[in-house]
Amino acid sequence: PAVLADGDTGTGGDDADDARPVQPVLAVVGRPNVGKSTLVNRILGRREAVVQDVSGVTRDRVAYDALWNGRRFTLLDTGGWEPDAKGMQAAIAAQAETAMRTADVILLVVDGQVGATAVDEAVARTLRRSDRPVILAATKIDDSRGEGEVASLWRLGLGEPHPVSGLHGRGSGDLLDIVLDAMPSSPRDDVDLEGGPRRVALVGKPNVGKSSLLNQLTGETRSVVDAVAGTTTDPVDSLVEIDGETWKIVDTAGLRRKVGQASGTEYYASLRTKAAIEAAEVTVLLLDASQPISEQDLRVASQVAEAGRALVLAMNKWDLVDSDRRHAMVRELERALVRFPWVERVNISARTGRAVQKLAPAMRTALENWDRRVPTGQLNQWLSEVVAATPPPVRGGKQPKILYATQAQNRPPTFVLFTSGFLEAGYRRFLERKLRETFPLIGTPVQINVRVRE
């Protein structure tokens, strides 16, 4: 049987047809020991729940993909930390603030056996300011006897307290129904990958000019930063016309909400970025041309490649770069971006509108190549020429033979090489380089997998 040796070409194995929508986020907040983790496990442990750890999360916050009644959402478990009594008030206040800024729905968990403590009251006071729906759960109500006590939680001013037992599951289904009712519908759920406007994610560090660019593109004069009130009714995405074509910019609600501007929310911002990248077909990564490129920028570029999405780099604030610096700057950039020689760069100014119209052709090219299908005949013609000129290195005394190649998938182009032996990573990278020299693949990651025929 064929053995699949995964090509480590820097792109992940994600199925591009499986593009997920930006999911609404449910944050679970509450004091330590009230039963948050138990409840979260109960929610995720259900047969319908799909659990997936999001990589790169901090120790004290864990995000999961959850599924209930056919709806997907991201569940943030803010439990796990153990601040001392003095620090607790501050820690939980920060937790609530973060949830208010970034989640779509907040679940406040209170210990139903203990009732509301002073800390619970303080958190409730904070959460009452929230423009997101807040749902109150009273945990540890394992049977009907405890339910009488729950009524006292009305005084937290967050509406009806919902009794639940995370341990036994009692009431958890009803609670989830209520949570999902409160969530904004994600309109993208039913969007067909093949049809409709192409989806674009606009990502980049805080202050790089994302909202300015969005303003330029949507032609709005009002500041998107001000559009916070009533965000629950804001569309998640915006349709914009660029260069005579309609595009869908995903998660503009997130941009409008300025996720990640305040301290302590980098994690949520990166979660949102990841979701936006995955919901989009092409990502425009904004870089500040007046600053050196950062690790964080490179990480996001890698994320796009790993998600198997098309990528365009927009060098924003080009107006701030002195004309005599430009040459040196481009050289520095090229050094920093050695791993992404396939990405097209566009120099723009979101403030002045300079060259913003160049974005659309770059996005179009990237998507065209992302969609590309190389005919098998052409592919194998190319392969035989390349291999004849530069055969794969001998390994373990044997010369691996490349039998043939096919393109298994597009979006992004994914190739499979059938071989008689293992191909070294270096040779696979060489093949990718050669492939890109022959076929137009600017703007898209490609994946090369190797199947060894024993």
CB 161 within 8 A of CB 178: no
Contacting residue, 23, 36, 284, 347, with ligand GDP by CB under 6 A: 36
Q: Give the burial string for 170-209 (b: 16+ CB within 10 Å, else e).
A: bbbeebbebbbebbbebebeebeeeeeebbbbbbbbeebb
Binding string, residues 314-333; x marks residues near ligand GDP by CB under 6 A: --xx-xx-------------
Structure tokens at 414: 């994914």
Contacting residue, 5, 12, 20, 32, with ligand GDP by CB under 6 A: 32
The answer to the question of whether 208 is labelled as a binding residue is yes
Nearer to ligand GDP, 137 or 435 (CB): 137
Q: Find, among 194, 279, 245, 442, the residue nearest to 360 by Cα.
A: 245
Helix or strand holding residue 25 (H, E): strand 25-29
CB 107 within 8 A of CB 29: yes
Half-sphere exposure of 295 (CA within 13 A, CB side): 0
243 contacts: CB under 8 Å, gap ≥ 6:
357, 360, 361
Q: Which of these segments, 30-38, 55-63, 272-280, 323-331, binds ligand GDP (CB under 6 A)? A: 30-38
Site membership for ligand GDP, residue 165 (CB under 6 A) = yes
The answer to the question of whether 35 is labelled as a binding residue is yes
The answer to the question of whether 30 is labelled as a binding residue is yes
Binding string, residues 115-154; x marks residues near ligand GDP by CB under 6 A: ------------------------xx-x------------
**Min dist. Cβ of residue 12 to ligand GDP (A):** 26
The answer to the question of whether 369 is labelled as a binding residue is no
**What are 253-260's contacts with CB under 8 Å, separation 24+?**
254/22, 255/202, 255/210, 255/211, 255/214, 255/224, 256/211, 256/224, 256/225, 256/227, 256/228, 256/231, 257/101, 257/102, 257/228, 257/231, 258/206, 258/211, 258/225, 258/228, 259/101, 259/102, 260/206
Binding string, residues 58-97; x marks residues near ligand GDP by CB under 6 A: ---------------------x------------------
Nearer to ligand GDP, 234 or 319 (CB): 319
Pairwise CA distance, residues 371 & 441, whole Å: 10
Nearer to ligand GDP, 209 or 412 (CB): 209
Q: Which of these segments, 47-55, 164-172, 361-369, 446-454, binds ligand GDP (CB under 6 A)? A: 164-172
Helix axes 172-182, 36-45, angle to 10 degrees: 90
Residues 341 to 380 in contact with ligand GDP, rule: CB under 6 A: 349-351
The answer to the question of whether 60 is labelled as a binding residue is no
Residues 203 to 242 in contact with ligand GDP, rule: CB under 6 A: 204, 206-212
Pairwise CA distance, residues 331 & 290, whole Å: 14
Q: Which residues are annotated as a binding site for GTP?
A: 30-37, 77-81, 204-211, 251-255, 316-319
Q: Which residues are annotated as a binding site?
A: 30-37, 77-81, 204-211, 251-255, 316-319
List of residues contacting ligand GDP (CB under 6 A):
30, 32-38, 79, 139-140, 142, 165-167, 204, 206-212, 316-317, 319-320, 349-351
